[in-house]
Amino acid sequence: MAEQRRDQRDGRGARESAGAMGDARRRSVRAEEAHAWGALVATARRTVSDGLVVGTSGNVSVRVGDTVLVTPSGVPYDRLTPTDTIGVDLDGRQVLGTLLPTSELPMHLAVYRTTDAHAVVHTHAVHATAVSTLVPELPSVHYMSGALGGPVRVAPYATYGTEELAENMLRALTDRSACLLQNHGTIAYGTSLDQAFDRTAQLEWMCRLWLTASSVPGLSPTLLTGEQVAEAGERLRGYGQGGARRGEG
């Protein structure tokens, strides 16, 4: 994959290039950022172990105040340590670390600038990516679409790492917490790393479900109406131990 190959090239020698990038703007990692970095690395490793990315093809970020911690370009997640912490401000200026940030930084920053997100997960999950090549919107095959704000849209294709891709993504994310990226993958955000990851995994599951159901010869999946998805979404806002209503699971 071109994105992964570029990230691998960018990652090599990134430490040595730190001087050219301007060490003067770097600062020490704060305690809250160190804690958040550990959680970010754990989430990034989970995207690999759960089969949502291959190699370094995805990326993860988390916001701490006005600093965005983000995975580096082209470094396998199992090699990341506390000394590899990378942080940028909301304008993309690097303030922490010496490794180069992911090439998909424009997408991450676009989400933080326009939503209340505290974490973003981007993957190349296989079923979701397959669906992104087939339809402009994931058919509402399951009520969990409501947990993402409604039917999941597909952002039109643009070259990875570009502002054009970030703009396409933002349009697809309008009133949604996740979207598909055409011929590319997924992006989801949340108020925490756990929520962003769970939404990513849920989206991949729904894509797999639709592909499985639609593959039966002579039959088409029954789809939910917009009203049914909206009703489920409203009920899901109260889901869990702290909610006013209980979910079914």
Q: What is the pLDDT of residues 93-107, one digit of tens each?
A: 999 999 999 999 999
Res 3: pLDDT: 52
Whether the per-residue pLDDT at 28 is higher than 80: the answer is yes
In this prediction the pTM is 0.88
Residue 96 contacts residue 87 (beta carbons within 8 Å): yes
Q: Specify the amino acid at residue 142.
A: H
Mean pLDDT of 178-196: 98
Residue 104 appears among annotated catalytic residues: yes
User: Which is catalytic among the residues 3, 33, 104, 204?
Assistant: 104
Res 22: pLDDT: 45
Helix/strand/coil for 185: strand
Which residues, other chains included, contact 13 with Cβ-Cβ below 8 Å and sequence gap of 6+?
Answer: none
The C-alpha angle with vertex 194 and arms to 188 and 196, in degrees rounded to 5, equals: 5
Res 23: pLDDT: 54
Separation of alpha carbons 240 and 233, rounded Å: 13
Residues above pLDDT 70, as percent of the chain? 85
Backbone angles phi, psi at 27, to 5 degrees: -140, 175
